[in-house]
Structures are given as structure tokens and as C-alpha cells.
Structure 1
Amino acid sequence: MKTLALTGSIGMGKSTVAAMFAARGIPVFDADATVRRLQGQGGKLVPIIEQRFPGSTREGAVEREALSAAVFGRPEELAALEAIVHPAVHHERTRFIVEHGDAPALLFDIPLLFETGGDRVFDEVIVVSAPADVQRQRVLARPGMTAEKLDHILARQLPDGEKRARADHVIDTSLSLTETAAQVDEILAGLGLGRSA
């Protein structure tokens, strides 16, 4: 089994590219979606987060804005949150691997792959990338996003150029969806995985 990591800065098109891999029969583990599930209605991290960050949950789910406000610009609080979330995500990832033990390859969509040193455990690292102006335009179009929030997020992420330099494969998502999909097919063919769906 080949393990593939998919990463890239905010707004670079990870979700779109992950869906393309999934459509080709590659099981995808989405770290962000896992966090949302763990922090959503009835999620197992909800009471733990409420205990550490009082007032950050409501009606059995984490209030993302309230939690974000509790850690925004406070590195020690962010570290405390990560100490709760990261082990739980690791556990879910291990379960995912076991469940898909017979797959020829698995794709792991991990936004902060390089920042957490996680790239070393994967066979191949794929980075999605687009020009900075395209990235800003995409992200600032999201509900509730501001230039200040974006700058704060980018400050925590390795610069795009460094990610591209450390990648085994780079997918340019500023192109059309058809051209982006062709890059996915090229990577899979190069890995001997071909199109399985």
C-alpha cells in the first residue's frame, strides 16, 4: 500500500483535488473533516474542549467562532487546543488505515503536514498550489473571512514556495478543473496506480 499525503496552504484547492483522487478509487482521510466530526454535535472532544475552554461549546457542539476567539493570537492556548485535538485525529487516522487495509493506496488530506513534521511518514507528498492573488481571492470570498484572519492563518503556515520545494508532486490548481484532473491522473499513473474507478 502506498501512502500519499495531500497538503497546501489555505485556499489552494485541497478539497477539490482530494475529491478527484476519491473519484479514482483512492480512499481519502480528511483531517479537517475528522476534526469537525469530533467537535460537532455529540463529538467526543466536545466535553474535553468545553472543560479547557469554558463557553466554547453550545448544545453539544463546539462553537467554532468562540473557540477561534479563545485561541486567536494566543500561542499557549492554541498549543493547549492542539494537545487535545491532534492525538484524537491520529487515533482516527489509524482506524482509517486498518479499515482500508486492502487498498492499493490511501490519500491523507492534511493542511498542516509540513508544519507538524508529518511529511516524513508518507511515501509521497503532493502539494496543491496556486498564485498568491488567486489564493487571496478564493479565501476572502469565504463567509466570515477577513484579510486579518487570512494573514494570521498564513503566518502559521509554511510559505507556499517552501511547500512546493519539499513536495514530490505539485498540482497547479489555478488551471481548469479538467487540467487539474489531468495532473491527478498523471501522478497516479506515475505511481503505477492508474485509474481504478
Structure 2
Amino acid sequence: MLTVGLTGSIGMGKSTVAAMFAAEGVPVFDADAAVHRLQGPAGAVVAAIEAAFPGTTGSAGVNRTALSEAVLGDDAAMNRLEAIVHPAVAAERAAFVTAHADSPLVVFDIPLLFETGGDARVDRVVVVSADAAVQRARVLARPGMTEAKFSTILARQLSDADKRARADIVIPTDVAMDDTRAAVRRAISCLRAPTGG
């Protein structure tokens, strides 16, 4: 099994590209979706998050807005949160690998792949990228997003240029959708080749 880390900064179109990999029959582990399950109603990390950050959970699970306000811009708080969430996500990832043990290629959709050292745990890295102006427009169009919040998020992420430099394959998303899909198909062919890209 060849393991591929799929990553990209906020607003780069990573979810769209992940869906394209899945549509081509490649199993995709979505780290964000795993976090949502773990933090949802009766999620495995809800009690620990409430203990560490009182008032950030309720009957629907974690209140993501309240939790974001509690940790954003506070490195110590973010580290506490990551110490709760990351091991639980790792367990979900291990179960995914077991479930797809017969697949020649699997993709791990991980937003902070480089920032968490996850690139050392995959065989290849695919980075999703777009022009900075396209990225900014996409992100600022999101509900509740502000320039300040966007800047804070970017500050926690490796720059797009650094990610591109460290990638085995770069998928552009500031082009026509069909061009992005074609790039995904080329990437899959390359990754499935005997040398693995």
C-alpha cells in the first residue's frame, strides 16, 4: 500500500481535490471529518475537551466557535487541544488503514500535514495550491471569516511556497475544474506506477 498525504493551506481547494481522488476509486481518510465525528454528539473527545476548556461543549458536542475562540492565537491552549484530539484521530486513521489493507493506494487528507510532522508518516505528498488572490477571495467568502481570523490561521500554517517546494506532486485549483480533475488523474497514474511517482 502506498500512502499519500494530501494537504494545502486554507482555501486552496483541498476538499474538492480529495473528492476527486475518491471519485476515482481511491480510499480517502478525511482528518477533518474524523475530528467532526470525535467532537460531535457523544464524540470520544468531548468530555476531555470540556474538562480542558470549560463551557465549549453541549448536547450537540463541541461548540466549534467557542472552542476556536478559546484556543486561537494561544499556543499553549492549542497544544492542549491537539494533545487531546491527535491521538484520537490517529486511532481512526489506523482503523481506516486496516479497513483498506488490500488497496494499493490510499490518501490521507490532512490540513496540517507538514505542521504536525505527518509528512514523515506517508510515502508521498500531494499539495493542493492556488494563487494567493484566489485563496484570499475563497476564504473571505466563508461565513464568519474575517481578515484577522484569516491572518491568524495563515500564521499557523506553512506557507504555500514552502508546501509546494516539499511536495512530490502539486495539484492546481486556480484553473478550470476539468484541468484540476485531469491533474488528479495524472497524479493517480503516477502514484500507481511501479515506482510510486
State, as a whole percentage, how many aligned pairs show the same letter: 60
Q: State the match for 1:61 in structure 2.
A: 61
Question: Does the CA contact (< 8 Å) of 2:57 and 2:63 recur in 1?
Answer: yes
Q: State the match for 2:149 in structure 1.
A: 149
| 1:68-99 Cα deviation digits (max 9, x unpaired) | 11112211111100100011101110010001
Alignment of 1:1-197 (within 5 A): 1-192=1-192
Q: CA deviation at 1:124?
A: 1.0
Letter in 2 for 1:169: I
Letter in 2 for 1:27: P
Cα separation, 2, equivalents of 1:152 and 1:78: 13
* SS class of match (2:102): coil
Q: RMSD between aligned alpha carbons?
A: 0.9
Cα separation, 2, equivalents of 1:182 and 1:73: 38
Cα separation, 2, equivalents of 1:64 and 1:175: 32
| 1:160-190 Cα deviation digits (max 9, x unpaired) | 0000000000001001110000001111112
Letter in 2 for 1:179: D
Question: Does the CA contact (< 8 Å) of 1:46 and 1:60 recur in 2?
Answer: no
Q: CA deviation at 1:44?
A: 1.0
Task: Indicate the larger mover: 136-145 or 56-65.
Answer: 56-65
Gaps of 5+ in 2: none
Letter in 2 for 1:102: D
Q: CA deviation at 1:192?
A: 2.9
| 1:19-54 Cα deviation digits (max 9, x unpaired) | 000001101000011001100111111111111111
Letter in 1 for 2:38: L
* SS class of match (1:191): helix
| 1:94-131 Cα deviation digits (max 9, x unpaired) | 01000111111100000000011110121110000001
Question: Does the CA contact (< 8 Å) of 2:3 and 2:123 recur in 1?
Answer: yes
Q: CA deviation at 1:191?
A: 2.2
| 1:150-169 Cα deviation digits (max 9, x unpaired) | 00000000000000000000
TM-score by length of 2: 0.96
Cα separation, 2, equivalents of 1:49 and 1:156: 21
TM-score by length of 1: 0.96
The alignment of Structure 1 onto Structure 2 pairs a total of residues equal to: 193
Letter in 2 for 1:156: R
Cα separation, 2, equivalents of 1:39 and 1:49: 9
